[in-house]
C-alpha cells in the first residue's frame, strides 16, 4: 500500500502582543522619523551592537513583523508622533536653568513617559537578535498598562529622565544608542538615545 502524503500546509498564526488580534504588521521599534533626522540626508547610519563588535552600516532602525497589529501600532503611533514633535521643537521651546538643567513649557509628560516605556516594551517583546538584551520579564504587563493607559491600582509610572547629550570632541547630532540596560550604584535603568535635539 502506498503511503498517504499529507500535502496540507500549516501556517503559524502570529498574534498581536497587546490585544491578541491578527494579522500583525511591519512595526518600527523606534519611529522612522527619528531615523530620518539622524541620517540627515545620508543614505546610511552607523549602528553598534554589543554582541557584534564593529561598525555596521544600516539604512533604517529595526522593525518587527510579529509584535503589533495595525490598530495597536496606531495607538503607539500617537505617542511616537508627540515625541518626534517634542524633539523637533526643543530648541525653540526650551529654556535653560542652572546647568545642565532645562525646562520645557507645556510638555505632555504623560505622553513622554509612555513613549519611553513603549520603546523599551517594543524591544522586550521583539524576538530579533538585536533586542535580546532587553527583557522586561515580570514587568512586561506593567509597561503595557502604562503605554496603553490601562487601569491599574495603584498607577505606577517609571521614573523617566530626558538628557541632552553634548560633546566638545565629537559631533553628536547623529549619534543613536538603542535601548540598553545599565546599572549605576546598584540602580538599574534603561538608556535610549534616539534623536538629536
pLDDT at position 98: 75
How many angstroms from the chain centroid is the CA of residue 126?
A: 11
| Domain span at 111 | 29-62+73-193
User: What are phi and psi for residue 52, nearest 5 degrees?
Assistant: -130, 90
pLDDT at 105: 83
pLDDT at 100 over 60: yes
Per-residue pLDDT at 174 exceeds 50: yes
User: For position 1, what pLDDT does the model report?
Assistant: 36
Residue 18 within a domain: no
CA distance 116 to 161: 10
Determine the pLDDT at residue 101. 75
Rounded to whole angstroms, how far apart are CA atoms 15 and 116? 23
Q: How far apart are CA 42 and CA 38, in angstroms?
A: 9
The answer to whether position 5 is within a domain reads no
Band of pLDDT at residue 185, cut at 50, 70 and 90: confident
Give the integer Cα–Cα distance in Å for 150 and 152.
6
Tell me the pLDDT band of 151, cut-offs 50, 70 and 90: low
Specify if 50 maps to a domain. Answer: yes
- Residues 10-15: contacts with CB within 8 Å, 24+ apart? 14/65, 14/66
Element at 70 (helix H, strand E):
helix 70-88
Confirm whether 22 is domain-assigned: no
What does the pLDDT read at residue 176? 65
Report yes or no on 116 lying in a domain: yes
**Residue 103 confidence (pLDDT):** 83
pLDDT (mean) for 82-103: 81
Domain count, the chain: 1
**Residue 38: inside a domain:** yes
Residues 74, 31 contacting (CB under 8 angstroms): no
Amino acid at each position: 500500500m502506498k503511503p498517504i502524503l499529507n500535502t496540507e500546509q500549516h501556517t503559524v498564526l502570529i498574534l498581536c502582543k497587546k490585544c491578541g488580534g491578527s494579522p500583525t504588521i511591519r512595526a518600527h521599534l523606534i519611529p522612522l522619523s527619528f531615523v530620518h533626522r539622524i541620517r540627515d540626508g545620508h543614505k546610511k547610519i552607523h549602528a553598534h551592537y554589543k554582541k557584534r563588535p564593529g561598525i555596521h552600516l544600516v539604512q533604517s532602525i529595526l522593525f518587527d513583523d510579529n509584535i503589533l497589529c495595525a490598530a495597536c501600532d496606531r495607538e503607539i503611533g500617537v505617542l511616537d508622533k508627540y515625541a518626534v514633535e517634542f524633539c523637533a521643537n526643543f530648541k525653540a521651546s526650551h529654556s535653560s536653568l542652572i546647568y545642565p538643567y532645562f525646562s520645557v513649557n507645556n510638555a505632555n509628560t504623560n505622553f513622554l513617559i509612555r513613549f519611553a516605556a513603549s520603546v523599551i516594551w517594543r524591544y522586550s517583546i521583539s524576538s530579533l537578535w538585536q533586542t535580546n538584551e532587553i527583557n522586561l520579564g515580570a514587568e512586561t504587563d506593567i509597561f503595557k498598562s502604562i503605554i496603553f493607559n490601562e487601569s491599574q491600582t495603584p498607577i505606577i509610572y517609571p521614573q523617566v529622565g530626558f538628557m541632552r547629550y553634548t560633546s566638545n570632541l565629537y559631533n553628536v547630532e547623529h549619534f543613536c544608542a538603542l535601548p540598553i540596560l545599565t546599572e549605576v550604584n546598584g540602580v538599574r535603568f534603561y538608556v535610549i538615545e534616539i534623536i538629536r535635539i
